[in-house]
Amino acid sequence: MEGGNISKYNLNEKKQIMKNEYPNSDNNKLAKKLGYTESTLRTKASKLGLKKSEEYMNKIYKKMQTGKKDKQKEGKI
CA–CA dist 73, 40 (Å, integer): 37
Structural domain boundaries in the chain: 2-73
Q: What is the pTM of this model?
A: 0.75
pLDDT in tens, 10-55: 999 999 999 999 999 999 999 999 999 999 999 999 999 999 999 9
Q: Tell the burial category of 27 from Cβ atoms under 10 Å away from its Cβ (0-12, 13-18, 19+).
A: middle
Answer whether residue 1 shows pLDDT above 60.
Answer: no
CB contact at 8 A, 48 and 17? no
CA 47 to chain centre: 15
